Amino acid sequence: MSFSDYRTALVTGASSGIGAAVVERLRRENIEVHALARSAAPLEALAAKTGCIPHVIDVTDRAALARLTAGTDFDILVNNAGVDRPKKFLEADEADIDLLVDVNLRAVLHLCRMVVPGMVARDNGHVINISSIAGAYNFGGNSSYHATKAGVSMLSNQLRIDAFGKRVRVTEICPGRVATDIFTHVHGDDPSIRERFIDGFELPEAADVAEAIAFAIAAPIAVNIGHMEITPTLQVMGGLQTARPETVRPRAPAPDQTP
């Protein structure tokens, strides 16, 4: 399946980072790209630069999404919009949980519900779900984020089953640390944040992720690239930790087994 088989794309979270890079990459293939984000100014700048069609919409606005998707048959859907509120789950805030579920998972579910049936009917389409290594690996302080990204991962698997027999491909992209503005969006616009997460590291750029997505889309029709982990060469996932308790409890004696 070459790019020439596709005409239209919808990219969420398109105003910066990976989303903006994907818009630019798809426009280079003469795809009509509908770029969706909340921030009007950077979206308009992206439209002026690339010729994409901007839509200032929050992905949690289901009615606006329905109006947009009802008017266009999308051949490519890139679910990229996402948020994070890093916090241990023991300190989880009700509003933070709702926000992560609404943006990271519920919006993806509804956009797939709105777009994928048309792909199936046309026997043509490609869904790109931007998940995260957090959907498969555990690290501290991001419990709600892990849960929502794991949901996106399972949805990607299930979409392939539900669309079985049709030429609808589903690719899950799982980035590790990428040099984007997401860290300042999450942790605040302070120079120390860039020093903590970006400066001095050898990290993939947003354009590198966009190229990986283009590779998956441009694969032959018989090829579905289902899952891609994109991490820095100098990043690994996992690790083993064993904690010492603050207080030592005496072991209870074994029960008497004498008959």
For the question of residue 137 being annotated catalytic, the response is no
The three-point CA angle 160-171-149 to 5° equals 95
DSSP helix, strand, coil percent of the chain (3-state; round to 5): 45, 15, 40
- How far is it, in rounded angstroms, from Cα 199 to Cα 81? 24
Q: Establish how many alpha carbons lie within 13 A of residue 182's alpha carbon, considering only the half-sphere containing its beta carbon.
A: 21
CA-to-CA distance for 24 and 39, rounded, in angstroms? 17
Q: Which of 6, 74, 145, 197 is catalytic?
A: 145
Question: For residues 65 and 79, what is the distance between their CA atoms, to the nearest angstrom?
Answer: 13
Chain Cα centroid distance, residue 199: 23
Vertex 207 angle, CA 10 and 145, to 5°: 70
Active site residues per annotation: 145
